[in-house]
Structure formats: structure tokens, C-alpha cells
């Protein structure tokens, strides 16, 4: 499993040569607003880089059209699958972009912390009572570290972002949406559960209509359930901590308290982290004695995934 991370403009410039043969893709980008162009071309360039690294796309070959799930999640076409069922997932927030690439069901979410986003109405609509209690407890606590470092957001906002990011990550792995899913996060037990039974029941009632979005979403989620093992975990870290523990030079304080979250469908395979910075692209492998501190923090902040279907 491989995680790639970088800033959109940097990624777009670095991987522009890979997209030189993608005339249709470049024509599509020309119709987009400049900010959307950056995100779109950075994501496609990074995806082509990952495909080349894994030997799935020949040099100078254009990127084949991606397939879309019922709710718009992109997938690799059969022509790029090779011997494995390869999967990828993209996420962006502001100018940060993350790509997760693996040989089974994977997903990633990156979120820049914004305290103004977390209005009471949104929190109460999405979060469980246990999560709201944890957020309120931090909101009422004076965090000395936050007060002395102007680049850090309040601890409660970071926690609220982490809870959201874990939800996004889990539902994206199955091609679903946060707002039509039954998600329950249990901070005390470090467990996150997704109840798919209401979706299955709704899909059964519309099974005769093959065009129904709910039925299609259920079939898509059902086909991916077997790829998530019983030991699957949602892992979430602040980007700042991740880069500090890997000794990666970080020059953009704007994103210093962003949250990086991913689904690790099995713990048997290694995790590779690739950071794209102005100094180049550096890759780290976990587990590794060299990064024991990062491995320890990952274990401490991982949430067990429970799927009810």
C-alpha cells in the first residue's frame, strides 16, 4: 500500500511531462477554472506516476478513461488491473493532495483544519453523542500549546476534523457518502463502525429498478466488502506530526495542522509514504526500526473498523 502527498501546484509541475501525451485529458482541463485545473492535473499526474511505479502503465502511454461508481467514486479500468485488483483513491483540501494506491480496497482523506467549518448544526447532524462529548471537553480546555503557536488550530477543531476525516475515509472505501451512511465513532474504544443494513434494505425495495442510485450503491459497496479484512484499521495523523517523525522538511505552515487519514485494509503488508516537497520526492517504508516513533503513534491513533452488513 502506498500513500503519496504533496501540494497541487508542485505536483502539477513535477508530473506535467507524464501528461504530455494525454491530449483528451488536457483538453478537458482547459475548460476548468484555474484552481480546479491544478487539482485535476496534479491528481492525474500523480496517478500516472503511481501506475508507472507499479508497472501497470507503459511509458508514454496515455491514461485510459477511469470508471465511475454509482456515487461518482473513480476506479481503474480492467485494462490497468494486472495480476491484482488494484485500487486508488484521491483526496484534496485547499492545495494539499493525497493519493492512496494499493492491491485491495483502499481510501484516503486529507483535511486542512478550519475551526469556522464546525458549526453546531453540522456537528449535531453527523457526530455521535460520544464524539460531541469529546469535542466539547476539548473546547472547554485551555490548550497551552495552541495558545503559544499561532500556526496551530484549537485542539477541539483538530479532533472534529479527525472524526470527519475518518468517516470520509471509511465510506469512500466502499463508494458511499457520509450523509447517506450510518456511521458510529467510539472514541473511548478507538472503534469506528458502519452499519450497511439500512442501505441493503433500501436497495432491496428498489431492486427491480436497475437505474436506482441506492441499489447501485449497495451493489458497489457489497462487491468491495470482502476486500476489507477483520483486522482493517482507520489510521489518522496530523500532517505535521507525520512529517516531523519522518524528518521531512516542511516549508508550508498553512497546512501544518492538516489531518491525513487512510484505511489500511490489512496490516500484513508494508505501508510506503511518499512526500513530494520542493527538495524532491522521498519515500519511507513502515514498519521500520528507523521510524519506530511513527509506528508507535500510528498504533496509538488507529481505529478498528467494524462493518455490519
Beta-bridge mates of residue 185: 192
- Most confident residue range from 5-9, 97-101, 174-178, 244-248: 97-101
The predicted pLDDT at position 253 comes to: 59
pLDDT tops 80 at residue 142: no
Task: Supply the pLDDT for residue 251.
Answer: 61
Quote the DSSP letter at residue 154. Answer: P
pLDDT tens string 153-197: 888 999 999 999 999 999 999 988 887 678 889 999 999 999 999
Which candidate, 263, 270, 275, 3, places its Cα nearest to that of 107? 263
CB 271 within 8 A of CB 1: yes
- Of the candidates 65, 72, 63, the residue with the CA atom closest to the CA atom of residue 90: 72
How many other C-beta atoms lie within 10 A of the C-beta of residue 55? 8
Work out the burial of residue 41: count CB atoms within 10 Å of its CB; fewer than 13 is exposed, 13-18 middle, 19 or more buried. Answer: buried
DSSP for residue 209 = -
- DSSP state letter for 84: S
Q: Is the pLDDT of residue 215 over 90?
A: no
- For the CA atoms of 228, 233, 236, 239, the dihedral, rounded to the nearest 10 degrees, stands at -70
Residue 285 has pLDDT above 60, yes or no: yes
Helix (H/G/I), strand (E/B), else coil: 113? coil
pLDDT band at 8 (very low <50, low <70, confident <90, very high): very high
Q: What is the C-alpha to C-alpha distance for residues 20 and 169, in angstroms, rounded to an integer?
A: 31
Q: What is the model's pTM? A: 0.90
Averaged over 57-63, what is the pLDDT?
A: 91
pLDDT in tens, 28-41: 999 999 989 999 99
Are 160 and 123 in contact by the 8 Å Cβ rule? The answer is yes
Q: What is the pLDDT of residue 147?
A: 45
pLDDT for residue 144 is more than 60 = no
Please write the tens of the pLDDT for every residue from 231-280. 899 999 888 878 777 777 766 656 667 999 999 888 777 889 998 888 88
The arrangement of strands across the sheet holding 302-308 comes to 107-111, 259-264, 233-238, 302-308, 191-195, 182-186
* pLDDT, position 210: 61
pLDDT at 151: 54
DSSP string, 243-306: HHHTT-----GGGTT-EEEEEES-SSS-EEEEEEETTEEEEEEES-GGGHHHHHHHHHHEEEEE
Residue-number span of the structural domain to which 298 is assigned: 2-308
pLDDT of residue 148: 47
H helix intervals, the chain: 8-14, 23-30, 34-53, 120-126, 129-139, 144-148, 155-173, 197-205, 213-225, 239-245, 292-301
Model pLDDT, residue 252: 62
Q: What is the pLDDT of residue 80?
A: 85
Where is average pLDDT lowest: 72-76, 181-185, 294-298, 301-305?
294-298
Rounded CA gap, 113 and 67, in Å? 31
Q: How many domains does the chain have?
A: 1
Give the three-state DSSP class for 227: coil
Amino acid at each position: 500500500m502506498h500513500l503519496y502527498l504533496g501540494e497541487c501546484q508542485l505536483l502539477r509541475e513535477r508530473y506535467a511531462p507524464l501528461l504530455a501525451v494525454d491530449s483528451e485529458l488536457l483538453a478537458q482541463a482547459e475548460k476548468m477554472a484555474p484552481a480546479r485545473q491544478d487539482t485535476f492535473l496534479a491528481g492525474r499526474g500523480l496517478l500516472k506516476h503511481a501506475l508507472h511505479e507499479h508497472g501497470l502503465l507503459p511509458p508514454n502511454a496515455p491514461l485510459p478513461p477511469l470508471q465511475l461508481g454509482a456515487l461518482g467514486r473513480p476506479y481503474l479500468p480492467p485494462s490497468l488491473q494486472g495480476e491484482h485488483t488494484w485500487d486508488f483513491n484521491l483526496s484534496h483540501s485547499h492545495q494539499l493532495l493525497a493519493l492512496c494506491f494499493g492491491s485491495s480496497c483502499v481510501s484516503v482523506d486529507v483535511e486542512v483544519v478550519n475551526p469556522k467549518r464546525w458549526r453546531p448544526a453540522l456537528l449535531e447532524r453527523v457526530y455521535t453523542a460520544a464524539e460531541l462529548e469529546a469535542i466539547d471537553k476539548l473546547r472547554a480546555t485551555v490548550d497551552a500549546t495552541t495558545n503559544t503557536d499561532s500556526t496551530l488550530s484549537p485542539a477541539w477543531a483538530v479532533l472534529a476534523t479527525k472524526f470527519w476525516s475518518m468517516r470520509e475515509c471509511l465510506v469512500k472505501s466502499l463508494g458511499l457518502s457520509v450523509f447517506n451512511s450510518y456511521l458510529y465513532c467510539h472514541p473511548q474504544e478507538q472503534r469506528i463502525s458502519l452499519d450497511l443494513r439500512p442501505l441493503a434494505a433500501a436497495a432491496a425495495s428498489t431492486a427491480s429498478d436497475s437505474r436506482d442510485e441506492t441499489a447501485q450503491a449497495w451493489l458497489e459497496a457489497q462487491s468491495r466488502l470482502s476486500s476489507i479484512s477483520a483486522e482493517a484499521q482507520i489510521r489518522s495523523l496530523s500532517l505535521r506530526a507525520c512529517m516531523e517523525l519522518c524528518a521531512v522538511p516542511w516549508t508550508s505552515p498553512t497546512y501544518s495542522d492538516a489531518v491525513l487519514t487512510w484505511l489500511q485494509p490489512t496490516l500484513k503488508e508494508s505501508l510506503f509514504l511518499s512526500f513530494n516537497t520542493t527538495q524532491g520526492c522521498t519515500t519511507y517504508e513502515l514498519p521500520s526500526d528507523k521510524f519506530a516513533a511513527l509506528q508507535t503513534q500510528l498504533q496509538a491513533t488507529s481505529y478498528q473498523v467494524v462493518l455490519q452488513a
